[in-house]
Amino acid sequence: MFPPQFLAVERVAAGAEITSKKRLLEVLAGLLASAHPQLKAELVFEHLLERERLGSTGLGHGVALPHARIKDAAEAIGAFIQLRQPVDFDAIDEQPVDLAFAMLVPEAATEVHLQLLAHLAGLFGEEGFRERLRQASDPSALLRQLQEGAGPAPGG
């Protein structure tokens, strides 16, 4: 399982109509910022974009894992979007992305946060897991698939 409060149905979107990488990052930033009143969507977006400039977080197989460190985050926060149509994301395999999991971690991220990122990358590397997410039709079903796929929390 994920850490408590890491992911909630309010931060999961199904069948989103998004047409660009920039817009996808903006929507993910809004979802992440909704987790805590001190987080501002514009600042989260800037951090996600800054991280993308270092290199695309497109993992391949239609998956992106945008992430950033941010001082206003007290704990790791996740958000997930399933897209109706894939968008170009400069992924390592040059394939467009239709599944995007974004994560914010505190500026002083611990080993547990790095393990969480590695755990997510491993999950999305599994074809069956990706297909179950693509078949889910609403945020609750997506959240259930994400939580079931996650297994035990890293470090826990």
Structure tokens at 107: 């500026």
Residues 68, 51 contacting (CB under 8 angstroms): yes
Element of type H or E holding 106:
strand 97-106
Structure tokens at 44: 């989260």
DSSP secondary structure of 48-103: HHHHHHHS--EEETTEE--EEEETT-SS-EEEEEEEEEEE----TT---EEEEEEE
Q: Can you tell me the distance from the alpha carbon of 140 to that of 12, in angstroms, rounded to the nearest whole number?
A: 8
Is 47 among the catalytic positions? Answer: no
Q: Can you tell me the distance from the alpha carbon of 72 to that of 138, in angstroms, rounded to the nearest whole number?
A: 30
Residue with tokens 């946060």: 113
Catalytic residue selected from 36, 47, 67, 119: 67
Catalytic residues: 67
